Amino acid sequence: MEEWKLLIYFHGLLKNYSIYKQIKIMSDIRQEMDQVINELKTKGIHETTNPNETTGLGDILESTLTKFGITQERYKNWFGLEECGCTERKKWLNGLFSWHTKK
**Ranges of each domain in the chain:** 1-44, 46-103
3-state SS class at 98: strand
Provide the β-strand partners of residue 98: 56
Check whether 97 has a pLDDT greater than 60: yes
- The residues, ordered by sequence, that sit 6+ positions from 71 with a Cβ below 8 Å of its Cβ are 65
- pLDDT the model gives residue 1: 54
Better pLDDT: 52 or 39: 39
Q: How confident is the model at residue 52 (pLDDT cuts 50, 70, 90)?
A: low
- Are the C-beta atoms of residues 96 and 59 closer than 8 Å to each other? no
- Are the C-beta atoms of residues 93 and 57 closer than 8 Å to each other? yes
Tell me the average pLDDT across 49-54.
60
- The residues, ordered by sequence, that sit 6+ positions from 53 with a Cβ below 8 Å of its Cβ are 100, 101
